Amino acid sequence: MPGTMEFLRRSAEERKTVLCFGMDPVLERINAGSATGAIEERIEPFFHGITDRLLEENEIAAIKPNYAYFAKYGFDGLYVLEGIMQRYKNKIPIILDGKRGDIGKSSEAYAAEAFDFWGADALTVSPYMGEDSVRPFAREGKLAYVLCRTSNEGARDFQELRCGRKFLYEIVAEKAVSWGCGLVVGATSDSIKRLVKAAGNEVPFLIPGIGAQGGDLEMVMEALKPNPHIHRISASASIAYAYEKAGGNPVEAALKEAQKLNAVIREYVPRFSK
């Protein structure tokens, strides 16, 4: 298999999108909150069904399972995660949303878990403890997305602190680029414009916040236009649970939501037109 960067480019070109499907299982929202059946039997077919259809229709170019949402259901949830990793490995880039980051030796262990055990192509990483905590994740052929300017409301507490003439998130971006990492940059802030420019649009961004969090997809696509293939725009609940608003079959509702997002994405990238 090619390295993750090449895998991202190729997948985007072949599927004509940069949309990433984030997987955040919530039992109460699956199958209208049905309480019947084992956890594994409820989560697995729900996400397999949606993902298989989105891949069949070329509406996504990555998946992003969120470790915490699976782990909260104990071993049953982790078995589902294992099944997802095995089912889609080498078919589409898999970004494990684990937000790891610890002292060097611990980070080495976390990196082995993410890349060797789970088989992820990429992993989200917290940079707060500095270079030695991030380096183990910057493995050749893999990709670490460093949390930079995130999409949550509390991001301002630290990320927008002024350090001289720059915001702290800009310094994080500079460091991450020098370490060979990608960046997590939320769609809920126009900081993405500054960061794309600062990174020369050659650094892969993982961009959450589209959909349920109300991120500005048009603003994001305008910023990414010069080199969109390496980036991934992630939507999670808005796709997985689209049927809550639309009604009907969860798979068909998810497909329509992804198609709606891709209509905007493909408008900004003419060669992505299907």
User: Can 142 be counted among the known catalytic residues?
Assistant: no
Q: Which residues contact 197 (CB under 8 A, 6 or more apart)?
A: none
Q: Helices marked H in the chain — which ranges?
A: 4-15, 39-56, 67-71, 74-88, 104-111, 131-134, 156-159, 168-178, 191-198, 217-224, 237-240, 243-246, 250-268
Residue 190: other Cβ atoms inside 10 A? 12
- Cα gap 109→162, rounded to integer Å: 34
Cα-based angle 61, 65, 71 (whole degrees, multiple of 5): 175
Q: Which of 16, 89, 99, 166 is catalytic?
A: 99
Q: Which amino acid is at 273?
A: S
List, by residue number, the catalytic residues: 99
